[in-house]
């Protein structure tokens, strides 16, 4: 049987260079690859997580998912130490959407916003039974 080996969130941006800088400087991701001349699409990585950032067409409006449904993220990343990750992001000056807290679904979590208003969640599963899929 074939297995899925990786995944990446895909986000569009109105401010490509600034978005790449935000993910790099505020969230600690590194640019793994950039495409186009001038670049208009990038794959960024932090540890085993990836995010793809692409330049939106000028006429496109970016509407974050949270504006369409409360509590919904544009991207979500699981981390092994949410407290340390939160401290890193706040020290770097990330835009905090909501602060570190234990959620009713057993995850220690916080959220940030990127420069286009996308909601990005970071969470640490506190109950191992929540991380297993039947």
**Which tokens sit at 97?**
């959407």
pTM of the model: 0.91
From residue 77, give the alpha-carbon distance in Å to each of 3, 49, 56, 59, 116: 20, 7, 23, 29, 18
* Within-domain flag for 91: yes
What is the distance of C-alpha 89 from the center of its chain? 12
Q: Which residue has the higher pLDDT, 120 or 6?
A: 120
CATH code of the domain covering residue 86 = 3.10.180.10
* Within-domain flag for 31: yes
* Within-domain flag for 99: yes
Q: Which residue has the higher pLDDT, 25 or 70?
A: 25
* Within-domain flag for 40: yes
Q: Is the pLDDT of residue 131 over 60?
A: no
Contact assessment for residue 51 and residue 95, using Cβ atoms and an 8 Å cutoff: no
pLDDT value of residue 134: 47
Domains held by the chain: number: 1
* Tens of pLDDT, residues 80-117: 999 999 999 999 999 999 999 999 989 999 999 999 99
* Within-domain flag for 1: no
Contact assessment for residue 24 and residue 67, using Cβ atoms and an 8 Å cutoff: no
**Which tokens sit at 23?**
């993910």
* Within-domain flag for 17: yes
pLDDT value of residue 50: 97
pLDDT value of residue 87: 98
Per-residue pLDDT band at 31 (split at 50, 70, 90): very high
**Residue 109 belongs to domain spanning:** 8-57+64-131
* Within-domain flag for 2: no
């Amino acid at each position: 049987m074939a297995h899925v080996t990786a995944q990446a969130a895909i986000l569009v941006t109105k401010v490509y260079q600034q978005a790449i800088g935000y993910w790099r400087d505020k969230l600690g991701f590194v640019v793994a690859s950039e495409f186009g001349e001038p670049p208009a699409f990038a794959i960024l990585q932090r540890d085993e997580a990836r995010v793809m950032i692409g330049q939106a067409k000028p006429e496109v409006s970016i509407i974050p998912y949270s504006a369409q449904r409360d509590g919904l993220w544009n991207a979500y990343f699981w981390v092994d130490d949410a407290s340390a990750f939160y401290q890193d992001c706040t020290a770097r000056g990330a835009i905090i959407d909501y602060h570190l807290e234990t959620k009713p679904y057993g995850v220690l979590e916080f959220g940030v916003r990127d420069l286009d208003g996308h909601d990005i969640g970071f969470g640490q599963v506190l109950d191992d039974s929540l991380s297993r899929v039947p």
